[in-house]
């Protein structure tokens, strides 16, 4: 496929007149770099003069050859004189002469990208006063359509058009932790290059065939378009590059799911197509390419990981143990099998009478029934 950017636009340049003047020049159809002549069409270049034209010379160089010829040579050189109207140029049969007394022109049929650029006319004729042979010149600037050549690469310029690129999703969602040896998200960059488009193409990125959801509307994707330099003196050939960069993270998974991409597969792989589409001006020409992306992602079967299950079991057992202990304590307190600080002595049985007046214990130590009346007194002798 050609890599030229060619298009046709009329440029009526200044005529250099030396007594043999040009009255009017025209190019049909009108064209410019944003509205080039479609491929395989016909373009007419024509000038009228004040007096009779003796001969006309037309020359043209392809965009990449401008300034490279020496010795008056050109890619196309067509010369015609009176009586050659309707004949074809020997250098290029697609060029036909239109020649009349005071008119000189050419018809270029089957237009091609290489036709873009300057077509230069040099006409020879008698001056209006008949004083001698004079010359007049005119340059036409022509722009013809050129289809862009589409190429897709990674950031290392590896050709990936229709190929596969593999990367990783570094988070294990089931374990809620980074995969072993990983601590951050992967970042990927891809380029879509349109070589030689005329008119200049516009770019569109989307997932799979969902061209109604342009990724430029998603802040997650960073997209930039740049003009690449070309060794073309008159800058008729322009190569454009659109670059897209994004992280392979949970936000990407969310966007993929919105585009009906399976993001939790048992084969532990998320697969989709990253599509780049170009459209060239009013020509409505559309072309597209894609890269297959395979993302390695651990499968989440919905079952809690062992570590989480162990933690939950530990918490449940701890709660059960606390409940059992609380129940035992309540039971012991209610049955009196344990002593509690509730106003009784450590060994005071339940139901013991309280101390007597003055805070003194009744009897000996306040424990048991009251002592007999003669307790603590010496027994009296009885005399016979």
Residues 307-334: tens digit of each pLDDT: 666 777 788 888 888 888 888 888 777 7
Is the CB of residue 293 less than 8 Å from the CB of residue 274? yes
Confidence of residue 368 (pLDDT cuts 50, 70, 90): low
Task: Give dist(CA 174, CA 155) in Å, integer.
Answer: 32
* Mean pLDDT for the stretch of residues 159-177: 96
Amino acid 157: pLDDT:
95
Confidence of residue 217 (pLDDT cuts 50, 70, 90): very high
Amino acid 61: pLDDT:
96
User: pLDDT digits over 119-136, tens only?
Assistant: 999 999 877 666 678 899
Domain 16-142 part of CATH 2.60.40.10:
yes
Minimum mean pLDDT range among 14-18, 150-154, 268-272? 14-18
Amino acid 15: pLDDT:
42
β-pairing verdict for 171-172 and 177-178: antiparallel
Average pLDDT of every residue of the chain? 84
Amino acid 352: pLDDT:
52
Whether 16-142 and 149-296 share one fold: the answer is: yes
What token pair was written down for 59? 């020359």
For the full predicted model, state whether its pTM sits above 0.85: no
Amino acid 149: pLDDT:
94
Amino acid 341: pLDDT:
54
DSSP sequence for 332-355: HHHHT-S--SSSS-TTPPTTPPPP
The 10 Å Cβ neighbour count of residue 79 is 15
β-pairing verdict for 53-60 and 117-126: antiparallel
Selection from 252, 229, 251 nearest residue 240 by Cα:
229
* Mean pLDDT for the stretch of residues 269-277: 97
Residue identified by tokens 């509730």 is 342
User: pLDDT digits over 15-61, tens only?
Assistant: 444 467 899 999 999 999 999 999 999 999 999 998 889 999 999 99
Task: Give dist(CA 203, CA 275) in Å, integer.
Answer: 10
- Residue 249 confidence (pLDDT) above 60: yes
Minimum mean pLDDT range among 7-16, 126-135, 293-302, 339-348? 7-16
User: Residues of the chain with pLDDT > 70: what percent?
Assistant: 78
Interacting residues of 352 by C-beta distance below 8 A, sequence separation 6+ = 344, 367
Amino acid 7: pLDDT:
35
* pLDDT top residue among 322 and 284: 322
* Mean pLDDT for the stretch of residues 341-359: 51
Amino acid 363: pLDDT:
46
* pLDDT top residue among 91 and 372: 91
- Residue 306 confidence (pLDDT) above 70: no
* Mean pLDDT for the stretch of residues 235-261: 95
Question: Domains of the chain: which residue ranges?
Answer: 16-142, 149-296
- Residue 75 confidence (pLDDT) above 50: yes
Handedness of CA 139, 43, 143, 67 (dihedral sign): negative
* Mean pLDDT for the stretch of residues 265-274: 96
Amino acid 110: pLDDT:
97
- Residue 384 confidence (pLDDT) above 50: no
Is the CB of residue 145 less than 8 Å from the CB of residue 131? no
Amino acid 369: pLDDT:
57
Minimum mean pLDDT range among 16-30, 97-111, 153-167? 16-30
Multiple choice CATH, 149-296, 1.20.1540.10, 2.60.40.10, 2.40.30.20, 1.25.40.10: 2.60.40.10
Minimum mean pLDDT range among 53-57, 66-70, 81-85, 128-132? 128-132
Selection from 289, 278, 276 nearest residue 244 by Cα:
276
- Residue 179 confidence (pLDDT) above 70: yes
Amino acid 319: pLDDT:
86
Task: Give dist(CA 273, CA 284) in Å, integer.
Answer: 24
Confidence of residue 91 (pLDDT cuts 50, 70, 90): very high
């Amino acid at each position: 496929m050609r890599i030229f950017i060619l298009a046709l636009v009329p440029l009526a340049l200044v005529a250099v007149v030396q007594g043999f003047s040009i009255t009017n020049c025209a190019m049909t159809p009108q064209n410019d770099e944003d509205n080039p002549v479609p491929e395989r069409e016909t373009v007419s270049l024509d000038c009228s003069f004040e007096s009779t034209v003796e001969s006309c010379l037309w020359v043209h160089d392809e965009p990449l050859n401008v300034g490279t010829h020496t010795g008056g040579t050109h890619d196309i050189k067509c010369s015609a004189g009176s009586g050659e109207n309707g004949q074809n140029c020997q250098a290029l049969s697609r060029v036909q002469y239109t020649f009349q007394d005071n008119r000189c022109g050419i018809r270029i049929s089957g237009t091609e990208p290489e036709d873009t650029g300057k077509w230069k006319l040099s006409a020879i004729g008698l001056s209006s006063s008949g004083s001698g042979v004079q010359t007049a010149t005119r340059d036409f600037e022509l722009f013809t359509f050129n289809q862009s050549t589409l190429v897709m690469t990674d950031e290392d310029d590896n050709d990936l058009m229709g190929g596969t690129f593999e990367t990783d999703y570094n988070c294990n969602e089931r374990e809620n932790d980074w995969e072993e040896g990983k601590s951050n998200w992967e970042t990927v960059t891809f380029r879509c290059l349109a070589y030689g488009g005329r008119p200049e193409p516009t770019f569109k990125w989307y997932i799979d065939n969902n061209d109604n959801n342009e990724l430029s509307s998603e802040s997650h994707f960073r997209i930039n378009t740049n003009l690449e330099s070309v060794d073309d003196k008159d800058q008729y050939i322009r190569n454009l590059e659109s670059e897209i960069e994004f992280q392979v993270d949970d936000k990407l998974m969310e966007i993929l799911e919105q585009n009906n991409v399976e993001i939790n597969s048992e084969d532990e792989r998320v697969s989709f197509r990253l599509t780049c589409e170009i459209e060239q001006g009013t020509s409505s020409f559309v072309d597209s390419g894609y890269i297959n992306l395979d993302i390695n992602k651990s499968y989440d079967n919905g079952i809690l990981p062992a570590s989480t299950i162990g933690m939950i079991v530990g918490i449940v057992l701890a709660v059960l143990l606390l409940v059992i202990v609380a129940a035992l304590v309540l039971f012991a307190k209610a049955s009196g099998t344990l002593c509690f600080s509730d106003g009784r002595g450590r060994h005071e049985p339940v139901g013991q009478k309280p101390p007597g007046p003055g805070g003194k214990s009744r009897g000996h130590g306040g424990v048991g029934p009251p002592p007999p009346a003669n307790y603590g007194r010496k027994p009296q002798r009885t005399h016979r």
